[in-house]
Structure 1
Amino acid sequence: MTETAVPATAGPGRDRQGVVYRNGALGRRPAVPTAFGDLERAARRASSKRAWAYVAGGAGEGRTMRNNRRAFDRWAIVPRMAHGVTERDLTTTVVGTSLSSPLLLAPVGAGALMARGSDLSIARAAAATGVPYIFSNQGCSPMEECAAAMGTAPRWFQLYWSSDEDLVDSLLRRAEAAAAGAVVVTLDTTMLGWRPQDLNLGSLPFARGEGIAQYTSDPRFLEIVRQRIDAARNAVTERPDVTLGAIRTLISMTRNHPGRFLDNLRSPVPRAAAETLLDIYSNPGLSWEHLATLRDRTKLPIVLKGILHPDDARRAVDLGVDAMVVSNHGGRQIDGSIASLDALPEIRAAVGREPTLLLDSGIRSGSDVFVALALGADAVLLGRPYMYGLAVAGQRGVEEVIRNVVAEFDLTMALAGARSVRDIDERFVRPNPSL
């Protein structure tokens, strides 16, 4: 009997392996480690204490961060053999955005703590790899500059609902003008969670003018700042303490504000901008009544991020939103919160197959992406791993992290016997019998 050779299509997994191994034969190593644990250690070495506390830190004792990873450990992939799958289709469409793989880059604020020019480097890496980038509302570069760096590549915009409604409208208009494919309203950060790593350093980036570029580039925000400066001229205020730390903070505010450094140093605006941001960036009273106004305020598809309870998911569906992100903010808001992956199956069961669900928090590898899709996600958001790639090797580091995650996802599909993203469901996973 003569066997008929069926050549396997390379796909991103074998392509990536081929690049790494060919470079290895020439004595070249990848720019970033390919295993998450090694990547995390390399990023910690490359980062300042303040940067590591902000990006890697979590709420309280870190229980939610651990919950996120333990949730993945509780599931085992059950591959099928002799399936004959030689080609995989990683493509999908989420909220009208075509994806080359079920992966988007999550919004991460104050990225310049990890590397200067962070948002622009991430934007270019996302465009180079064909992965949509969700611009952070707490970004270090205005969304217009990031959009220009991406060309026609897909991007979304994250919105923190400010206590100033006119600022909300201004940010929405700018996101539309920047050709954002959707607005992602973050629900779980109406105030900052208790974050000991930042607190122990007394470090809040926004108070130093870091991560507020969406605001200092916004006409409504600058109008509020001018109003506050005018009001302060007529008020009796205490002189601030002059300490070395205060001088450093002033220099940081001045350097991060648009315009010339010396002009900013003489101006009250940089300091007033940071103080204003802390007062109005998020609305503690955010309610479903606020969210119900979005359809009349923007043409963009609406995505709600931070859903963990089935009742909230049902209410979002009733509101007519376009998608939800099942997320606990990477474990940064509530210590001891339910893991996002644990919440996902119950939410999927509550809303049915039609509503679009994305998963955020705890994704570290391509096999994690596979498990998330098997349990009901349509796509996932990648966060800390690409930030670690940025810390280690800048734009190239972000690109390699993305390519590595997509490559492992493709290889997992191939070895498990999944022909397409649509094929991946609960048949491919079981509760881990080892736990």
Structure 2
Amino acid sequence: MLCTDDYRALARPRLPADVWDYLDGGSGAELTLDANRRLFDRAELRPRVLVDVSVCDTAGKLLGDALTTPVGVAPTAYHRLAHRDGEVATARGARGALFVVSIFASRSLEDIAAAATGPLWLQLYWLRRRAVLAELARRAQDAGYRALVLTVDAPRIGQRLRDQRNGFAVDPAVRAVNLDDAIMAASHEHREGASAIATHAAQTFDQTVTWADLAWLRGRTELPLVLKGVLTAEDADRAVEHGVDAIVVSNHGGRQLDGAVPALRALPEVVAAVAGRCPVLLDGGVRHGRDVFIALALGASAVLVGRPALWALAVDGADGVAGLLTMLTGELEHTMALAGRPRLADIGRDAVLLPDRRD
């Protein structure tokens, strides 16, 4: 395995076609899915020379936790679709890296925590049944999770045409085990021309939630609160005003609003609005250590990878995830050396040029 595309190439034939489309696809015409990747490819680096790069250090801290790498695993549902051990294998493979566990994990929060060697965060969607959210927050805190991540860009599921064409439904043998079966029933019901994921979300997601509701969630736990899905300076500023502890700049990997701004394009304005008041992370389109370097240069404290982690999981379980994260971190370290930026603190805004919006 020499690059993420190697994992992708091996993962695809190992997965059923409808599962592959569910994991790999985006919404609408997949404009944002493509734009996330394209902007990384068009960014240019500004290397410095005659710098001692004999040792390049990728270690840092995030919300008080020491990390050996700024590369973590993004929240994605149902890891048992990719590997029989599911999120337990992902947690083992993370080997000290941050792992954000989905509310729709197919292994229990407690089993994942027992397998983990690094910090875990729990991702949540705002469900109509608030008591369920409160119970998940309590369980996460009791199991040693370090933060809650509220996804805020999905009041309903994007129009994912691949899933609709496939009539995609989650295999009943692969369950979101941390939620009652009654809550999840619709996600397993196959209907031609419809996505069971979208049907389930329409029945269970609370579309009335606003900024005022964040206080309720904060009151359920002592864990830091992270908002995922912020793409504008306006929302970033409001998030900080409402006391959030970190922000993830994300367009849901191109799976929600098609045509939304690429995450990398949104990153600088979010960082500027936050003005150092809380950490900013990024996900969406990260495939290489060079991409990690670019995001760090534009102000991210860390990046999260979603699809590549699932590709690696499908290929070789925990060892695949470990190999992927080791590879991305090694590529980052190599980029740091060639760019003359041996510490994360050296990777500043002057290290990268983004193409003009009009290009």
Q: TM-score, normalised by structure 1?
A: 0.76
* Structure-2 residue corresponding to 1:215: 179
1:105-155 CA-to-partner distances (Å, cap 9, x unmatched) read 1111022111212111101111xx3112111101111111111112x5321
2:142 matched to which residue of 1? 177
The separation in 2 between residues aligned to 1:203 and 1:153, in whole angstroms, is: 33
Aligned partner (choices 86, 94, 103) of residue 54 of structure 2: 86
* Root mean square deviation of aligned Cα: 2.4
Q: Does 1:113 align with 2:77?
A: no
Please say if 1:194 is aligned against 2:162: no
Residue 400 of structure 1 pairs with residue 311 of structure 2: no
| Greater Rg over alpha carbons, structure | 1
Contact 1:106–1:383 at 8 Å: present in 2 too? Answer: yes
- The Cα shift of 1:281 comes to 3.9
Which residue identity does 2:51 align to in structure 1?
H
> Helix, strand or coil for the counterpart of 1:364?
coil
Give the whole-Å Cα distance in 2 for the aligned partners of 1:300 and 1:343. Answer: 27
* SS of equivalent to 2:299: coil
The alpha-carbon deviation at position 67 of structure 1 amounts to 0.9
**1:430 has 2:349 as partner:** no
Q: For 1:180 and 1:211, how far apart are their aligned partners in 2?
A: 21
Matched residue, 1:76: 44
AA of the residue aligned to 1:210? V
1:317 paired residue number:
240
Decide whether the 8 Å contact of 1:157 with 1:182 is kept in 2: yes
Distance in 1 separating the partners of 2:169 and 2:63:
34
Unaligned runs of 5+ in 2: 192-196
Q: 2:305 aligns with which of 382, 397, 400?
A: 382
Please tell me the residue identity of whatever aligns with 2:333: D
Q: Do the aligned partners of residues 180 and 110 (structure 1) sit closer, same or farther apart at CA in structure 2, a change above 3 Å counting?
A: same
Indicate if the aligned counterparts of 1:164 and 1:280 stay in contact, CA closer than 8 A: no
Structure 1 residue 211 displacement after superposition: 4.2
Q: How does 1:22-171 map to 2 (within 5 A)?
A: 33-126=1-94, 129-150=95-116, 153-171=118-136
1:365 and 2:331 correspond: no
% identical aligned pairs: 39
* Cα distance, 1:277 vs structure 2: 6.3
**Conserved in 1, the CA contact under 8 Å of 2:156 and 2:202?**
no
Mapped contact 2:157–2:256 kept (Cα < 8 A): yes
Normalising by structure 2, report the TM-score: 0.91
**CA distances 1:164-192 after superposition (whole Å, capped 9, x unpaired):** 11111111100101100100011112221
2:194 aligned partner? none
Aligned residue for 1:343? 266
Q: Which has the higher helix share?
A: 1
CA displacement at 1:351 relative to structure 2: 2.1
**Residue 384 of structure 1 aligns to which amino acid in structure 2?**
R
- Amino acid corresponding to residue 173 of structure 1 in structure 2: R
CA distance in 2, matches of 1:98, 1:157: 18
The count of corresponding residues between Structure 1 and Structure 2 is 349
The 1:209/1:312 distance shift into structure 2, 3 A limit, reads farther
Contact 2:71 2:328 in 1 (8 A): no
Deviations 1:372-409 (A, max 9, x none): 00011111111111111111122211111111001100
The 2-side partners of 1:357 and 1:213 are apart by 30
Q: What is the letter of the counterpart of residue 84 of structure 2?
A: R
The AA in structure 2 aligned to 1:294 is L
